[in-house]
Amino acid sequence: MTKFNYIYFKKDKKLRILNSKLNSKLTIVFLHGLKSDMEGKKPLFINKYCKKNKVNFLSLEYAGHGKSYGKFENGTISQWKNNVKFVIRKIIKKEKFLIVGSSLGAWLGLLQFQDFRKQIIGFIGIGSAPEFLDRLIWQKLKNSEKKIFLKKKFYMLKSDGYEYKIKLAFLKDGRKNKVLNKKINSKIPVFLIHGKKDDVVPLKLSRKIFSIFPRAKKKMEIIKGGDHSLSRRGDLNKLASLINKVIY
């Protein structure tokens, strides 16, 4: 049975975490997607992989997700970025880690380079969605929809079978957390995995991550028949093979 724990982000604000410590000096950090949690197939699979390979594992549920504090609709990229930064500093401290980010998690993972560049040994993005608020929501709205969004200060987004309330404040905060205009000169491995049938995040957005890393060892894996989740057994095995290439 998977054992989840809690860590206090602030006095009365708890974040749920999944942390397997195996006396390794390396941790794999998994960052989940929008409105997701740590009980999905990917985090549980990577946690199991880590136990088998005697590598530390760390994941968390951001504010408003899973069983962590707060309401989803009040969340922002800045808040979630800071949730991740806090947990990494608290648990991993000064040791090395690999970031595996799914969708939104890839964006939050890229933001961690601001504080942990020297500790990050690699980056793996799964259906990566950096800057999705502007690039996949705002820019695709009709002018009439944008006017309603600005007037009501929220927009009901339907995506991947779910409906989310996206606040205008959330959109504006996302613009303060751009990553695709940055350059990170680390020579780390940067591997991206994307489903060919992903109808949530286009492949071209995922690819843009490569432009951030001019000196990195880059590889893109396009999964035939894969959707946005990439949670089938074959998808997970492919993910494991990419992790192997980074840590071995």
- DSSP class per residue in 164-201: EEEEHHHHHHHHTT--TT-------EEEEEEETT-SSS
Report the percentage of the chain scoring pLDDT > 90.
Answer: 94
- 162 pLDDT more than 80: no
pLDDT of residue 138: 96
CATH code assigned at 33: 3.40.50.1820
Whether 107 contacts 84, CB under 8 Å: no
pLDDT digits (tens, 9 = 90+) for 89-147: 999 999 999 999 999 999 999 999 999 999 999 999 999 999 999 999 999 999 999 99
Question: First vs last Cα of the chain: how many Å apart?
Answer: 28
- Alpha helices, DSSP H, located in the chain: 41-53, 77-91, 104-111, 113-116, 132, 143-152, 168-175, 203-207, 233-247
Q: Is residue 188 in some structural domain?
A: yes
Whether 97 contacts 88, CB under 8 Å: yes
Which of the four pLDDT bands, split at 50, 70 and 90, describes residue 159? Answer: confident
Spatial distance between the Cα atoms of 64 and 227, rounded to a whole number of angstroms? 25
Number of domains forming the structure of the chain: 1
Taking residue 14's Cβ as centre, other Cβ atoms within 10 Å add up to 17
**Range with the poorest average pLDDT among 151-160, 206-215, 236-245:** 151-160
Please tell me the pTM assigned to this model: 0.97
- 75 pLDDT more than 90: yes
- 42 pLDDT more than 80: yes
Q: Is residue 162 in some structural domain?
A: no
Q: Is residue 166 in some structural domain?
A: no
- Closest CA relative to residue 133, chosen from 183, 170, 187: 170
The secondary structure element, H or E, covering residue 154 is strand 154-159
Instruction: List phi, psi (to 5°) of 218.
Output: -110, 145
Q: Is residue 95 in some structural domain?
A: yes
pLDDT of residue 183: 97
Spatial distance between the Cα atoms of 127 and 1, rounded to a whole number of angstroms? 28
- 83 pLDDT more than 80: yes
Domain extent at residue 196:
5-130+178-247
Which of the four pLDDT bands, split at 50, 70 and 90, describes residue 203? Answer: very high
- 66 pLDDT more than 80: yes
DSSP state letter for 64:
T
Which of the four pLDDT bands, split at 50, 70 and 90, describes residue 225? Answer: very high
Whether 2 contacts 44, CB under 8 Å: yes
Which of the four pLDDT bands, split at 50, 70 and 90, describes residue 158? Answer: confident
Instruction: List phi, psi (to 5°) of 78.
Output: -60, -45
- When the pLDDT of each residue in the chain is averaged and rounded to a whole number, the result is 96
Average pLDDT over residues 208-221: 98
- 1 pLDDT more than 80: no
3-state secondary structure of 161: coil
Spatial distance between the Cα atoms of 132 and 139, rounded to a whole number of angstroms? 10
Q: Is residue 46 in some structural domain?
A: yes
Q: Is residue 61 in some structural domain?
A: yes
pLDDT of residue 109: 98
Q: Is residue 154 in some structural domain?
A: no
Q: Is residue 136 in some structural domain?
A: no
- 11 pLDDT more than 90: no
